[in-house]
Amino acid sequence: MSKPIILWFRRDLRLSDHAALNAAVQTGRPIIALYILDDVTPKHRKMGAASRWWLHHSLMSLDESLQKLGSKLILRRGESARILEQITQETGADAVYAMHHYEPWWRNAEKAVREKMTLHLFDGNYLLPPATLKTGSGGSYKIYTPFWKALREHMPPPPPLSAPDAIITPSLPQSDILEDWELLPKKPNWAGGMASKWQPGEQGAAHCSRLFVDKAAYYDEQRNIPSITGTSELSAHLHFGEVSPATLWHIFAGAGGSVEVFLKEIVWRDYAQNVITQYPKYGSENARDRFDALPWRDMNDETVKADFTAWTQGRTGYPIVDAGMRELWATGIMHNRVRMIAGSFLIKHLLIDWRHGERWFWDTLVDADYASNAVNWQWVAGTGIDSNMFVRIMAPLSQSEKFDAGDYIRKWVPELAGLDDPYIHDPEEYGMTPKSYVRKIIGHRDARMRALEAYQIVKS
């Protein structure tokens, strides 16, 4: 039997439309399917707790699918380059096939692997590789709208590749036991809400796609209303590569109505990758240097710490913010409109550095994606290369009423469940705050004035 190939899985936990798998199968050689839990290479960017919960179930699903094809998922833990070298020594494998990843630590890992063995990289986790699109002057795009227009000219993407019918499998090396990785919370088990909401894995992604088919044409009309499920809820499936963006494009592009707005959200994901290839430290550094002078409140101050804790726990006294933060804790996700409101509240109402919010989301979101998370936070903060203006301060109370968030608040803030509209959006204003609910930690006008005063230092 010819030497085996190592198929290195990362955030591409699927068998359909998987270019690296397809190419490996076409060689006719035996394949070792490998996933490495690498907490070394990312350093401080190892997966957060919610993502690890999702990963556990996604790996279980992938292994089940591989076993149906006569294969098995091998699990190892450690630095990727070192583990891959060990597997080649144990099995005689002479090549690694993998999907290309663009986070800075994965680019470093790919470089380290290539120095030790033959590495074949394939694209397909995005609509286009980030370096594909160039401006008229030959540079990379920095602004989303021209990026979208340029990418649109390359659509539709090629038809998705089918999953293979079988995989030739050699004598396999020893595998770790998934449960030994302790990716799931135990004491306490805070993942009950996530378990009841999500079905991680390729089959779960397909099911989620089917549910969204009839809604896609109404995306623009419904996506901003948190009380209904008007979004696709596919972001975590996309992040873990359980479905490819090309597959989604071909499923939904012909839906009609306002589906193009949904397709633009898929392109935003490509745009975010385009940004971090240019600015690898986008998750930790302001893209606009002048914001380095902004006088954020000091997180060493006990009052500021208390405000941040209140935000994370959904105890700010702003019902829509509190509903969003509690939804996040319970399910690992937050409605997209509410994410913007909650993010803006932390940055501009509490004047707390966006990086603290970005790291909280990194730990608590099941769809925590380095590029998208960083680009979204810098967009809200006004610090990004393409972002909202800092002086545009969201008014969470009026946003709540505008987007009919009453039922959403009743679901996630049970202390307010007995209040009717319009009182539920701002119970304190109407003198109807229940004893069980907190008062506002800061008034909207006071917060706005403080933020604008802080901005004057940046502006001057």
pLDDT, tens digit, for every residue of 159-176? Answer: 999 999 999 999 999 999
Say whether pLDDT at 1 is over 80: no
Architecture per CATH, domain 126-157+187-278, reads as Alpha Horseshoe (1.25)
Q: 387 vs 152, 242, 377, 390, 405, CA distance in Å?
A: 21, 29, 9, 9, 25
178 Cβ neighbours under 8 A, 6+ residues apart: 56, 59, 60, 63, 75
Condensed to tens digits (0 to 9), the pLDDT of residues 320-332 reads 999 999 999 999 9
Mean pLDDT of 25-50: 97
Q: What is the pLDDT of residue 131?
A: 84
Q: Is residue 428 classed exposed, middle or buried when 0-12, 13-18 and 19+ CB atoms within 10 A define those classes?
A: middle
Mean pLDDT of 40-59: 97
CATH number of 289-459, picked from 3.40.309.10, 1.10.579.10, 3.30.43.10, 3.40.190.10: 1.10.579.10
Q: 189 vs 55, 74, 192, 195, 326, CA distance in Å?
A: 16, 27, 7, 11, 16
The tokens for 126 are 């995005």
Condensed to tens digits (0 to 9), the pLDDT of residues 173-192 reads 999 999 999 999 998 999 99
The tokens for 19 are 């270019």
Fold for the domain defined by 5-125: Rossmann fold (3.40.50)
67 Cβ neighbours under 8 A, 6+ residues apart: none
Q: Which helix (H) or strand (E) covers residue 117, if one does?
A: none
Calpha distance 52→186 (Å, rounded): 13
Q: What is the pLDDT of residue 396?
A: 97
Calpha distance 139→446 (Å, rounded): 43
Q: Are strands 31-37 and 73-77 parallel, antiparallel or unpaired?
A: parallel
Say whether pLDDT at 151 is over 80: yes
Mean pLDDT of 365-389: 97
Give 459's pLDDT tier (boundaries 50, 70, 90).
Answer: confident
Alpha-helix runs per DSSP H in 403-443: 406-412
Q: What is the pLDDT of residue 410?
A: 98
Among 40, 71, 44, 39, which residue's Cα sits nearest to residue 55? 39
Mean pLDDT of 198-227: 97
Calpha distance 399→404 (Å, rounded): 8
Look at the block and give the residue holding tokens 């907190």.
438
Among 240, 226, 234, which residue's Cα sits nearest to residue 62? 240
Q: What is the pLDDT of residue 187?
A: 87
Mean pLDDT of 305-315: 98
DSSP state of 387: -
Sheet holding 31-37, edge to edge: 73-77, 31-37, 5-9, 95-99, 119-122
Report the alpha-carbon angle 328-334-335, nearest 5: 155
Average pLDDT, the chain: 97
Total residues belonging to the chain: 460
Look at the block and give the residue holding tokens 């050689």.
29
Q: What is the pLDDT of residue 79?
A: 98
Condensed to tens digits (0 to 9), the pLDDT of residues 229-270 reads 999 999 999 999 999 999 999 999 999 999 999 999 999 999
Residues in a beta bridge with 388:
none
Q: Do 310 and 316 contact (CB within 8 A), yes or no?
A: yes
Calpha distance 393→385 (Å, rounded): 18
Percent of the chain with pLDDT over 90: 98
Mean pLDDT of 197-204: 98
Mean pLDDT of 351-365: 98
Specify the pTM. 0.97
The tokens for 91 are 């099995």
355 Cβ neighbours under 8 A, 6+ residues apart: 283, 284, 377
Calpha distance 138→141 (Å, rounded): 9
Among 74, 86, 93, which residue's Cα sits nearest to residue 30? 93
Q: What is the pLDDT of residue 449?
A: 97
Q: What is the pLDDT of residue 32?
A: 98
Domain positions in the chain are: 5-125, 126-157+187-278, 289-459
Give 460's pLDDT tier (boundaries 50, 70, 90).
Answer: confident
Rg (CA), the chain: 23
Say whether pLDDT at 348 is over 70: yes
User: Would the CATH topology of 5-125 be identical to that of 126-157+187-278?
Assistant: no
Calpha distance 218→36 (Å, rounded): 40
Say whether pLDDT at 397 is over 90: yes
Q: Do 232 and 262 contact (CB within 8 A), yes or no?
A: yes
Calpha distance 379→372 (Å, rounded): 10
How many other CB atoms are there within 10 angstroms of residue 94's CB atom?
14
